[in-house]
Amino acid sequence: MLRTVISDLARLRLGNGSVSITQVREKGHLNRPRLRNPHWFLRKKRTVHDDFVTSENRNFVKEVLHHTYNSSALTRDEQTHEKKLTNETIPEKQPWSQELRRCGVIARKIGQYPLWLKNGEKIRTTLLQVVDNHVIKYVPPEEYRPTRRPNVPYSKKYGCVLVGAESTDPTLLTKEYCGLFSNSGVMPKKNVARFMVSPQSALEAGTPLNVRHFRVGEFVDVRGKTVDHGFQGVVKRHGFKGMPASHGVTKTHRRPGNIGGGGEKGRVWPGTKLPGHMGNRWRITKGLRIWRINTKYNVLWVQGSAVPGSTNGLVYIYDTILPLRKPKDAPPNYEDNTLIEDIWFEQVHNFKDESITYKPE
Amino acid sequence: MNLSNRILNKKLTECAYKCLVTFSTKPIQQAPAAAAAATTSPGGSQTQQDAAVSNNTSPARKPLVPPHYRFVYPEFLPDPKIEWRNNIREKLERLDMLDRRRQIDLPEFYVGSILAVTSSDPHAAGKVSRFVGICIHREKCGLRARFILRNVIDHQGVEVVYELYDPTIQKVEVLRLEKRLDDSLFYLRDALPEYSTFDENMDAEHLEEGTPVPVNDIKVVLRPRPWLERWERQNLLGVANIDQYIKEKHRKSALKVQKPWEKFDLMKQYRSTIPEEEQKEIFAEVHTELHTLELQRKRNKRKRTFIKPKQLA
Amino acid sequence: MAQMLLRNFSARRACGLLLSSQKQQQETCGLHTTPACCEIRKLARLRVVDNSDLGKRAMAEGRPPRCIHVYNKRGVGYIGDKVLVAIKGEKKKGILVGLKQNQRPKQPKFDSNNLVLIDDNGTPLGTRIHVPIPTILRTILKEKTLAKGADYTKVLAIASRYV
């Protein structure tokens, strides 16, 4: 016994000497930088000093703005449609297939109201407005470096499309942030988001995106940040029942009660529902049907009222990943100029139609 | 009584305008004359506007919305909760409401008016059902606007909720246009049944055009307790015998929950209403459309009254 | 106790009661009287609205039936559901034909919880329902007839009026 221990020790000492060459650190992944912010995470707002600019100078700045962006710059809620040619190369367009992943859009949740189906049933819909979207940049899969190296072997399948929404006054933004937009020829945007796309469906920088990206009757996933409720107790956060208000109950009216067993399992198990911060998380609602589209105001009517986020909050709309609800046809053509202002799904009752009647049997 | 008088007076001035509008619906030759007549009255500028539009002579002026629109079309005003508001949503909603109103005549009515609603019903024998009752409540705005009708049929109180913009509704008739003293009449549930009994085959009572909407100052008699709500706390004007059933402790607790300072709370008022300027903006947008619909309704009504003697003969 | 309850109930049921008797009730009534339940669950008092002998007598005596079981998986009865009631010391089945709780738009809501007594085959005990019943019952009862085997549509045949 003693002998074996000594021999072990000796082997260890021996090993130590040789390990200096073939050192294997098991916890090496801890030393790796865990999070590298993407290159578009820049300080957005400039510290505006009160530097007494004369009105002439202010006008001059405005003039320069108009000159550089050559558009009805800074008109609110307007979709700017000009497209500038850049010398960026994107892969050739290929015929559509169901496996391809398309770019999404940035939208605002602007409210909800009911619609009625043709059989008289009422449905609740949420209105999402696609707000002045432009493609800013496309990064092909070989060059794209994700913020965090995924655990699965990264197959480099998808490229990254950077999309901006809502043009804004560049004088309020930092130089670096405005630099993001310089190659695409679009005005600096308030919001930027990235969408992972298949290289076949990559988009050129400067391409405007609007509601015609989607078709009525198809399904979308909507990602948004839920309403922030702050630190909440267990009754509000997880819907616990609490305890009685009287009958000898003291000081435990809205508390969780028991949170674990004893004996072998005498600890709080991971995942136990406890008080904590509620809301302000990114959540995706999947498989919402598009009931109606308004091309004038770029609004989608989407099934249900469970879209994450508050009214006037920002959401991202993707094609659904649910396998049975994926689109069966190729996406609508952008260049198609036959514009109908209001597009209704065939099951939805158009308010311009006559009242619904049922045929007697 | 005093209050109802005041309301009557207010309505009188409003309806002076109403009369004039009907004149301006007549062919174009008569419109200038109507406009000339209108200049003396308070609501005259609107008729002038109409005349101007029909003649295409004077430059377009900003349409002046009649002040009673916010009572006639309360659902066009959005929810005043600031977090839920969005201009584009509200605009789209209003467009949809107008589209629906072009299909169906949704008349002016108030809480206390007696309505008959015909709606298509897949379960009914003739696929159509008609319900007559008194409107005891109106709530919500936009396409969600809804109202509750109540009636007593075969000694059984029945209430039905209707959504105003539901496309299965085929017809809304106002059988008796009047108001009551309170904003909602839920206390009819606890009143004696004769106060909410209305004949199903009741004929529409014709209200002379231009007369103000009458206020029915009837006081209902409640049944003894238990009640569905604590009516003594709600300062109801239309209940006669509330004191008969409440005890001293009820009176005291009712006093305790009173909030007499709320009418001075300007901030609360501001938060719970749409400011006047915004109301003007909203109604300026939908006014012309609503106005043409009103005119059409009047024309149809006149047609109907013209046909009637034929049928008799 | 039972007598008290009885008196209260009859007083509440007869709406156009004389004022003197109301006064009397107020004086004698030391009990807390609750309004009818807004949800049909066990021990909810119901109102028989057909002209069956048993039902009429129970209502006239002021001892309305109580629900002692709801034949569905929720334990809460909705319109068209079958319930088991205790009426005059007997166990009888019935169908809910009108509810006090809030309904969907265009569905009628009643001032009382109405019940029609039936036997095991779905044949009603009475020959007439003297209050209106909602039209949606046609569809619901037809569906249930197909699913359960008993013929509930006979209840529709004795209805006097639909809302």
Mean pLDDT lowest among A200-204, A209-213, B147-151, C17-21 = C17-21
Cis peptide before B226 (omega within 30 of 0): yes
Query: Of A60, A82, A58, nearest to A72 (Cα)?
Result: A82
Query: Does B224 lie at the interface with C, CB-CB under 8 angstroms?
Result: yes
**A355: pLDDT strictly greater than 50:** yes
CA distance C97 to chain B (A): 12
The pLDDT tens digits of the residues spanning B17-75 come to 433 333 333 333 333 444 444 443 444 344 444 444 444 444 555 557 888 898 999 99
Q: What are the CA-CA distances from residue A207 to residues A83, A222, A268 (Å)? A: 6, 22, 53
Question: Contact B228/C35, CB-based, under 8 Å?
Answer: yes
The pLDDT tens digits of the residues spanning C89-114 come to 999 999 999 999 999 999 999 999 99
Instruction: Please answer whether residues A331 and A96 qualify as being in contact, where contact means their C-beta atoms are separated by less than 8 angstroms.
Output: yes
Query: Does B170 lie at the interface with A, CB-CB under 8 angstroms?
Result: yes
Who among A110, A114, A353 is closest to B88 (CB)?
A110
Across B99-178, the runs of DSSP E, i.e. the strands, are 114-120, 128-139, 146-153, 156-163, 169-176
Mean pLDDT lowest among A169-183, A271-285, B139-153, C74-88 = A169-183
Query: Does B127 lie at the interface with A, CB-CB under 8 angstroms?
Result: yes
Pairwise CA distance, residues A81 & A84, whole Å: 10
The pLDDT tens digits of the residues spanning C8-18 come to 444 444 444 44
Question: Contact A129/B122, CB-based, under 8 Å?
Answer: no
Element (H, E) at A283: strand A282-294
Pairwise CA distance, residues B47 & A285, whole Å: 52
Amino acid at A182: S
CA distance A291 to chain B (A): 15
Query: Does B142 lie at the interface with A, CB-CB under 8 angstroms?
Result: yes
What subunits touch chain A, counting only 3 or more CB pairs under 8 A?
B
Pairwise CA distance, residues B296 & B293, whole Å: 5
CA distance C139 to chain B (A): 6
Question: Contact A110/B122, CB-based, under 8 Å?
Answer: no
Q: What mean pLDDT value characterizes chain B?
A: 82
Question: Contact A358/B120, CB-based, under 8 Å?
Answer: yes
Query: Of C75, C8, C5, C14, nearest to C42 (Cα)?
Result: C75
For domain B67-308, give the fold.
Answer: SH3 type barrels. (2.30.30)
Pairwise CA distance, residues B11 & B43, whole Å: 12
User: Between β-strands A342-344 and A282-294, what pairing exists: parallel, antiparallel or unpaired?
Assistant: antiparallel
Across C71-155, the runs of DSSP E, i.e. the strands, are 82-87, 90-98, 109-110, 114-118
Mean pLDDT score, A195-202: 91
Q: Chain B window 75-104: which residues touch A at a Cβ cutoff of 8 Å?
A: 83-86, 88-93, 96-97, 99-100, 102-104
Who among B156, B161, B192 is closest to C132 (CB)?
B156
Summarize chain C as % helix, strand, coil (round to 5).
30, 25, 45
Pairwise CA distance, residues A211 & A218, whole Å: 13
Mean pLDDT score, C130-152: 89
Count CB pairs under 8 A between chains A and B: 78
**B7: pLDDT strictly greater than 80:** no
Question: Contact B154/C25, CB-based, under 8 Å?
Answer: no
Who among A127, A310, A357 is closest to B89 (CB)?
A127
Query: Does B121 lie at the interface with C, CB-CB under 8 angstroms?
Result: yes
Pairwise CA distance, residues A112 & A130, whole Å: 15
CA distance B156 to chain C (A): 6
Residue of A nearest to B81 (CA): A311
Pairwise CA distance, residues A107 & A294, whole Å: 14
Query: Does A60 lie at the interface with B, CB-CB under 8 angstroms?
Result: no
Q: What is the pLDDT of residue C24?
A: 41
Who among A114, A358, A359 is closest to B143 (CB)?
A114
Instruction: Please answer whether residues C101 and C118 qualify as being in contact, where contact means their C-beta atoms are separated by less than 8 angstroms.
Output: no
Q: Chain B window 46-65: which residues touch A at a Cβ cutoff of 8 Å?
A: none
Using an 8 Å CB-CB cutoff, list chain A residues near B92.
Answer: 127, 294, 297, 299
Q: Where are the domains of chain C?
A: 1-34, 37-157
Who among A113, A355, A356 is closest to B142 (CB)?
A113
Instruction: Please answer whether residues A210 and A133 qualify as being in contact, where contact means their C-beta atoms are separated by less than 8 angstroms.
Output: yes
DSSP letter (8 states) at residue A347: T
Q: What is the pLDDT of residue A331?
A: 86
CA distance A359 to chain B (A): 7
DSSP letter (8 states) at residue B135: E
Q: Where are the domains of chain B?
A: 1-64, 67-308
Q: Where are the domains of chain A?
A: 55-228+278-344
Question: Contact A351/B100, CB-based, under 8 Å?
Answer: yes
Using an 8 Å CB-CB cutoff, list chain B residues near A359.
Answer: 127
Pairwise CA distance, residues A113 & A121, whole Å: 14
Mutation test of the interface with chain B: which of C106, C109, C112, choosing the one with the most B Cβ atoms within 10 A?
A: C106
User: Between β-strands B146-153 and A122-130, what pairing exists: parallel, antiparallel or unpaired?
Assistant: unpaired
pLDDT band, very low/low/confident/very high, at B301 (cuts 50, 70, 90): confident
Pick the CATH number of C37-157 from 3.40.50.1000, 3.100.10.20, 2.40.150.20, 3.30.70.1560: 2.40.150.20
DSSP letter (8 states) at residue A324: G
Element (H, E) at A63: helix A55-69
Pairwise CA distance, residues C117 & A336, whole Å: 65
Query: Does A310 lie at the interface with B, CB-CB under 8 angstroms?
Result: yes
Instruction: Please answer whether residues B238 and B182 qualify as being in contact, where contact means their C-beta atoms are separated by less than 8 angstroms.
Output: yes
Mean pLDDT score, B142-167: 96
Residues contacting B155, CB < 8 A, separation 6+: B193, C131
- Phi first, then psi, for residue A132 (nearest 5°) are 45, 65
Instruction: Please answer whether residues C52 and C88 qualify as being in contact, where contact means their C-beta atoms are separated by less than 8 angstroms.
Output: no
Question: Contact B193/C15, CB-based, under 8 Å?
Answer: yes
Pairwise CA distance, residues A89 & A93, whole Å: 12
**B222: pLDDT strictly greater than 80:** yes
Upper half-sphere CA count for residue A180 (Cβ side, 13 Å) = 31
Distance separating the N- and C-terminal Cα atoms of chain A: 95
Question: Contact B163/A77, CB-based, under 8 Å?
Answer: no
User: Between β-strands B156-163 and C90-98, what pairing exists: parallel, antiparallel or unpaired?
Assistant: unpaired
Mean pLDDT lowest among A82-86, A133-137, A167-171, A291-295 = A82-86
Pick the CATH number of A55-228+278-344 from 3.10.450.350, 3.40.50.720, 2.40.30.10, 3.30.428.10: 2.40.30.10
Pairwise CA distance, residues B84 & B270, whole Å: 16
Residue of B nearest to C101 (CA): B159
Pairwise CA distance, residues B256 & B250, whole Å: 10
